[in-house]
Amino acid sequence: MIKVHPAKTMYCCALRRSASIFQHRWLVGVHLSAHHSSRPIQTTKQHHDDGRHEQGKHRRFGTTMALTGVFGLLAYKQTLSNDEQHKSRRHSWSLWPTVGAKTNADTTTKRSQRKDFNFIADAVEISAPAVVYLEIRDRQHVDFFTREPLTVSTGSGFIIESDGLILTNAHVVVSKPHTMVTVKLPDGRTFPGYVEHVDPASDLATVRVHCNNLPTMKLGQSADLRTGEWVVALGSPLALNNTVTAGVISTTQRPSQELGLRGKDINYIQTDAAITFGNSGGPLVNLDGEAIGINSMKVTPGISFAIPIDHAKEFLRKINESPAGTDRRAAGDAHTYRRYIGITMLTLTPEILSELQQRNHKFPPSVRGGVLVWKVIQGSPAYSGGLQPGDIITHINGKEIKNSSDVYELLLEQDKKLSISIYRGQQLTTVHVFPEDTTA
C-alpha cells in the first residue's frame, strides 16, 4: 500500500481546483462570445457600454487565475519543506518506521505443487528399486524357435534382505511342476532364482538369488491400516517392469472363508488398486514406501486382494526359527499335486457375487454360485483346453460346482476328460480339459 504525504494531497487538490475554475471560466467566455456574435447590430453607445462590461469580466477572470497560481505555488513550496523535514527526521531516528509499496521482487517464489502433492510418486521412488520380475519356465517344454524352456507364468516379488532374499506368492513359483525361476532386477541384471521356502496355506514363498548389496524394502505394519487409506501396488504385469497402480483400502480384513479359499486362514486386505496377474507377489505399499501387503489376486476391476504383511512376518519368523540343516522345501513338499489343470480359483460367495453384479453390468444375472477362474497357467491343460481368466465354472461333468473344494474333489477322481460348463460374459459354453497326472 502506497502512503501519500498530506502536503502533496493539498497541492494536487489545489491544482485540480484551479483547473476546474479555469475550465468553468473558459466555458463561460466561449458561451458569452457565441451568444454575443448572434446579437443584432447595436448603436455606438451601446457598443461602448458593452465593451466596458466585457473588459471588467476579463479583468476578473485574470485576477482569479493569478490568485490560483499563487496558491498553487505556496502549496508546492510547503510540500517541499515538509519532505525535507521528513527526510531529516528519518535520518535522525533510526527506529522510524518506513512505508513502501509492495512489488513483485518482494514476494517469495511460489512452491511447485508437483513437489507438494505428488505423494504417490514419492512412495514409488522409495519402494520401486526393491521390486523384481519373476519368470517361471517349464523345463519339460521348450520353445520351438529358441529351444529355451517355455515361459508358463510371470510374477513379481520384492527384496527383503540385501543378500538376495525375495518374498513372493507361493502360487507364483509353484504353480506348475518341473519349473525353474528366473529373477530380473530393476537394473536389468538377470539371475537364476532358487525357491527356498513355500507355504501353500498362507500362499507365501521365498526365493534367493546369489547377489549382495541389493536394495531392500522396509516392512511396515498392517494391523493399524484404515479403510480409505491410500496404497500403491507395484509389480511387473505382462513382463512390464515397475508398473504402478494406486487406490485406497476398501476393507482391512476380508476373511478367506468369505472368498471360498481352501485351506487358508488369512484376513486379506481388499483394495481398488488394480492388481493384474503379473502383479502377484509384488508389494502393496503405503505412502511411506513401506510394504504393508503382498499382492495376491484380482477378482474384477476394483476388487483385488493382498496378504497382510503381518502375516508374512509370521511366515518369515518361522523360517528363521527352523533348525539349521533341515530341508528348506519341506513346507512346499507337503502340498501334494495329484492331478493338475493349471488354474487358480476363487469361490463366488454371496458377498463377491453382490460386488461383481454392482461393478459389472455384463455379469450374467442367472449365476447364483460357482467358481471364478482368475489365473490360467500358460501351457497348462486348462490353457490348452481354452479356459480364460474371468470364466465362471458352474458344472464339471454334469456336477454342480458350488466352491473350489468341489473342483479339488473331482481332480482326485481318475476321469481323463473334464467337461467344464462356463459362463464367459453372458454366454454359456463348454470346454474340455485333460488333467495331467503329476504323481508319476
Active-site residue list: 171, 203, 280
C-alpha cell at position 265: 486362514
**Closest by Cα among 418, 415, 347, 425 to 381:** 418
What string of DSSP letters covers 186-233? TTS-EEEEEEEEEETTTTEEEEE-S--S-----B--STT--TT-EEEE
Give the chain's largest Cα–Cα span.
148
Rounded CA-CA distance 136/153 in Å is: 5
Rounded CA-CA distance 251/267 in Å is: 10
**Closest by Cα among 278, 285, 306, 308 to 122:** 285
Rounded CA-CA distance 74/71 in Å is: 5
Write the burial class of residue 303 (CB in 10 Å: 0-12 exposed, 13-18 middle, 19+ buried): buried
Q: For residue 32, give Cα distances in angstroms to 43, 51, 174.
A: 19, 13, 112
**Closest by Cα among 435, 419, 273, 207 to 339:** 435
Write the burial class of residue 223 (CB in 10 Å: 0-12 exposed, 13-18 middle, 19+ buried): exposed
In this structure, are residues 167 and 294 in contact, taking their beta carbons and an 8 Å threshold?
yes
Phi and psi torsions of 379, nearest 5°: 85, 0
In this structure, are residues 206 and 197 in contact, taking their beta carbons and an 8 Å threshold?
yes
Residues sharing a CB contact under 8 Å with residue 215, sequence separation 6 or more, in sequence order:
129, 130, 159, 162
In this structure, are residues 133 and 173 in contact, taking their beta carbons and an 8 Å threshold?
no
C-alpha cell at position 208: 534367493
